Structure 1
Amino acid sequence: MLIKTLTPYAPTPPSSFRSSSFDETTYSISLASAEERQQVYWLRHQIYASELGQHAENPGGIISDVLDQENHYIVAKVDGLVIGFISITPPSARSYSIEKYFQRSDLPFNVHRNLYEIRLLSVVPQHRKSCLFLLLAYAAFRWVESHGGTHVCGMGRADLMKLYQRFGLNALPQITKSGDVRYQLMHAAVSKLAERASGYAHRLQRSGLEVDWQLPFPFQKPAPCFHGGAFFTAIGETFQTLERQSRVINADVLDAWFPPAPSVIENLTNNLPWLLRTSPPAGCEGLIDTISRVRGVGKNKILPGAGSSDLIFRAFCHWLTKKSKVLILDPTYGEYCHVLEQVIGCQVTRFRLDPANAYEVNTEALKMELVNNYDLVVLVNPNSPTGRHIERVDLQKILSSAPVDTRIWVDETYMEYVGASESLEQYAAYSENVVVCKSMSKVYALSGARVAYLCAASHQLESLRAITPPWVVGLPSQVAAVRALEDETYYQARYSETHQLREELSQGLTQIGWKVFPSVANFLLCELPEAGADTEAMIAACRAKNLYLRNPGNMGGEPNRRLIRVAVKDADTNGRMLEIIKSVSCRSHQKSVT
């Protein structure tokens, strides 16, 4: 966070502690080095002895204690000069500082292995009206949170208790005095502090500051990316009751409704013990050979991965930084927004898809947007959760007009439902800047196997090969993927059936009163009628009947409490879904009327 026109602390520090200028400098937050600890001890003397009279001044001009051998100091610096600090005593320490004043047996809270003490929040006088108190307190909270702490304790100056309470700390009745200063005991659950922490982070980010955050954990704890799969709570997350799968409809994920090809099942069944105990080809050589032959691209233009998420994390974290500009569709597959914003912290621009236009991509507007010098553009085609598809001819024209230094990532997870001829794999193989990501989960019924690959010109994949671990795809998964790729006839028949099943499901939902948007894939985006349950209520009511549907609201787009996504299943299961949805819809309509 860039800090303008900073002035030095009034007392003259030792020569090693001087800085010629604070102008146009940067606050950095880090763990204190051995040299910086000496600056902290000097500041402790200046503040707690010379200023506050809590300790007697001493000739050495420093204050340190035995806990400093076990404490962690987080410091705020400008040009290497410490101007603020906070100390954390871990539960592994022989004691806490508060035990100098209160017996452990008299403490009004439990002392356990997840209790951390936060102490000595201090800022030099010239910066006490800045955000440093908040920033250091937040840094200490993130330290405790990232280390698995569940509770914090400490003592705060009684005259500043309202400040600590704003942080979320609870003031306890116990009060003591050290020198001329009165202190009050404090305690809080980390879960309670976390409720305030989000507000701290947003406030700091809005303050106009820029922080060089050097702590070994991110500034904000990344929020988990919400995916489907809630149905495992009904089946059993420890897999001991897998027989329940027949009673549960997992329409909150987009797994194929059909089984893998018979050759896949036969190979895995006949060789499973050997496949499970045997190391796979380290570089997925046979899988790459098969992809190359079936897709008609060179082997050096293919990079395998353990599912598309593996490739997304691996590539994006390697290519991008916080300064990177990225364009994504909105709404689109939530993993992209999560990685770009929560994990890397890129500057993300959303290309809004209009529900009034049935979420179809405005290709002319997209073409115009691509000239804005993005580092990366992410296009999911067909898109999820919308189910809309940009035809290959149109998309190639758009991509060919983009700046050559803008890398374009095209996710074709659902492309085979449209047709292999619509894929951009062969185009990407000779493109300077286009990368196609292909998942084998949804179209080959291999979601549990976690197999995917990138197809791009070899120069785009070189740096990623260097960070691809050996055996990245397990042997059963490699065998399954090879056999699946070789059985195009089987899967083409399943794709044709999917189109028919999707149309029948769409008609059934329309008859119930849902608005169904056009789709080319194995799912439908729907809008619930105004007279009835909203998305969360509908999902909860269906879940009570073992039908799991997906709220697409966390994938972006304008807020809409009536959107819902439904996966296409086999005919019998689609019928069961329609019966459940109809009964739930009728009941919710009756409630709204009464």
Structure 2
Amino acid sequence: MSPTATLSRRPAQIFSFPQTEATYVLGLADAEDREEIFRLRHEIYARELGQHAVNHAGALRDALDTVNIYLTARCGPEIAGFVSITPPRAPSFSVDKYFARSSLPFAFDDRLYEVRLLTVLQPHRGRELATLLMYAAYRWVEAHGGTRIVGIGRREVMDLYRRVGLEPVGLSTQSGAVTYDLVLGTITGLRQRTMEFSPLLARLEARTAWRLPFPFRQPASCFHGGAFFSAIGEQFDTLERRHDIINADVLDAWFPPAPGVTDTLQAHLPWLLRTSPPTDCAGLIETLAAARGVAPENILPGAGSSDLIFRVFRHWLTADSRVLILDPTYGEYSHVLEKVIGCTVDRLPLDRAKGYAVNLAKLEAALALDYDLVALVNPNSPTGRQVPREKLEAVLRTAPWHTRVWIDETYVEYAGPGQSLEKFAAASENVIVAKSMSKVYALSGARAAYLCAGPHQLEALRAITPPWVIGLPAQVAAVRALQDPAYYAARYRETAALRESLARELRTLGWDVLPGIANFLLCHLPVNSPDADTLVRLARAEGLFLRDAVRMGARLGPRSIRIAVKDAATNDRMLEVLRTLCPPGSRA
């Protein structure tokens, strides 16, 4: 950071916007840019500030220029500002010229980066460009695995550094007439601080052409259940702890896979683990096609539904695309569409007063609005509500042929036989059915899924489907599961009975329990009970993991819980914990 006299001498105005806002192109300096930067450094730090002697070459370089990188912000053809980053592999940092490392209150390791030479040229001083450059440097360090940033900054503009999370450590140095303070910040602290001025970042992002090999903002991962693994041990050394916890925050099947699945895996596991699977999942595709009554060319395999969502949506859609989803619904869709791709996403609201049922008239009207994609989860999660196949098919026939309609049927087998739209999709111009084998076949750990659609929808996707996309044990497990439909039909009937029994008991606590048809229940907590976030934390201490549903839609509110259906004994254990934490009271 070092000599920042090039910043505005009015630090209070750093975060204000001028009347005429510039548009910047922010990127990594190439060899030609670096030569221009060396000349600019000479003009500013030698001629303007007098911190270096003027030289005949008219350029300033130092030893760090052989290892550091520069980020530049251009306004039109000219460099408007730049900042330098020194990586941990450098033989030294700029701060070494002023301080002995042994005297500093922090360690120098492979996660510490130095940011220096934050420079803004006239006429861009006094604008937000300094903030943009600092943020870009922070993102560079974060994206390269750094955890801390060190630098020196001019004391009179220390407000800027503090605002972005860099704090003085109590040491200073003098260079000419300028006083510099040594500053340090953690990436965690910097990330938290940037959240405080996110409106500014949003406006800067809108007027910045970002040309770095990572996004302007670090993409947040989609929030899922699965916190229970923290209690088991994420390095799998204490798997026996699974007997002590209840993982009702995920929707894994309560029953084991079909006997043929486990028998085959146990008999051949060493060979299955060391052997490459069929490259294109041909045997699995043929088995799926036969089981679903479609042709093999109607099937595209994937390593779980998330693999298909991420792979396919990024191939079909761009930031200019318009998409419709339900609200509430499975959170992966809004995450991929809005945070990964950047689509414009509209939501079809589902009302609690109407049991979160999909209004088919409103859906039909929405389908006429020329969306690029409409994504429907049926049965929906977290509500567990289903639109019967015949009614949904009638509505889908009204959709424009160029609007793709994606139907996620992860839980459809729980709705009963004959409810899947796979045959309809196989003969359709624009309907695609996504099927996970995780929840209804007890194969969540195997990661096997597929799409069923007209061959014309899948041709281009085959070109971006990796070979061996599903592992051999998973392919074998999926084939064996499909060969025993009677076993699973019996488990689905048991699941319905377990779900209804659990719902009755939860209602005795005053909970408002939605009558879903899958292997989970959406519940609204009573006003005199803990809210969802509090209940999740309290239950976790008792070994019960629940899902706070608030993030799954804008209409659920802070008292919504999604709870998985388990076997009868485990359901009784859950109810015992919940009766202690939420004694019976008034209605939700």
Which band: TM-score by shorter chain?
over 0.9
> Offset at 1:430?
2.1
**Equivalent of 1:273, from 267, 270, 285?**
270
Contact 1:25 1:79 (C-alpha < 8 Å) held by counterparts: no
Q: Cα–Cα, structure 1 residues 373 and 132, in superposed 2: closer, same or farther, change >3 Å? A: farther
* Candidates 425, 442, 446, aligned match of 2:439: 442
Over 3 Å counting, the alpha-carbon distance change for 1:181 and 1:354 in structure 2 is same
Native 8 Å contact 1:138 1:200 kept in 2: no
SS in 2 for 1:172: strand
Q: Counterparts of 1:24-423 in structure 2 under 5 Å?
A: 26-206=23-203, 209-423=206-420
How far, CA to CA, are the matches of 2:251 and 2:65 in structure 1?
54
Question: Structure 1's 311 and 122: CA in aligned 2 closer, same or farther, altered over 3 A?
Answer: same
Rate the CA distance shift 1:541–1:53 in 2: closer, same or farther, 3 A.
same
TM-score w.r.t. length of structure 2: 0.93
SS at match of 2:561: strand
Query: Within 2, Cα distance between the matches of 1:346 and 1:553?
Result: 22
CA contact (8 A) 1:131 1:204 kept: no
Q: How many residues align?
A: 568
Judge conservation of contact 1:55–1:179 (CA < 8 Å) in 2: no
What are the within-5 Å matches in structure 2 for residues 471-550 of structure 1?
A: 471-550=468-547
- CA distance in 1 between counterparts of 2:176 and 2:206 reads 36
Q: Larger deviation: 166-175 or 283-292? A: 166-175
With the length of structure 1 as denominator, give the TM-score of the two structures.
0.92
CA shift digits 1:135-164 (9 cap, x unpaired) = 111000011111111211111112111111
Between the aligned partners of 2:206 and 2:47, the Cα distance in structure 1 is 30
Unaligned runs of 5+ in 1: 1-8, 10-22
Any gaps of 5 or more consecutive residues in structure 2? 1-5, 7-19
Structure 1 residue ranges, 4+ long, deviating more than 4 angstroms after superposition: 23-26
CA contact (8 A) 2:509 2:585 kept: no
Point out the more displaced range, 198-207 or 142-151: 198-207
How high is the sequence identity, in percent, across the aligned residues?
Answer: 57
Amino acid at match of 1:85: F
C-alpha root-mean-square deviation of aligned residues, in Å?
2.1
The residue type equivalent to 1:415 in the other structure is: V
Letter of the 1:483 partner, please give it: R
User: What is the alpha-carbon distance in structure 1 between the residues aligned to residue 395 and residue 406 of structure 2?
Assistant: 13
Summarize the Cα distance change of 1:256–1:129 in structure 2 as closer, same or farther, 3 Å threshold: same
Distance 1:208 1:144 in 2: 18
2:526/2:585 contact within 8 Å kept: no
- 1:475-502 Cα shifts (integer Å, max 9, x gaps): 1111111111121111111111111111
Match of 1:421, SS state, is: coil
Aligned-pair CA distance for 1:25: 8.1
C-alpha distance in 2, partners of 1:175/1:99? 13
Report the alpha carbon displacement of residue 45 of structure 1 after superposing the two structures with TM.
Answer: 2.0
Which residue is equivalent to 1:583? 580
Residues 1:420 and 1:62: Cα distance change in structure 2 (over 3 Å): farther
Question: What's the counterpart of residue 10 of structure 2?
Answer: none
The 1:181/1:345 distance shift into structure 2, 3 A limit, reads same
User: What is the letter of the counterpart of residue 43 of structure 1?
Assistant: L
Contact 1:436 1:456 in 2 (8 A): yes
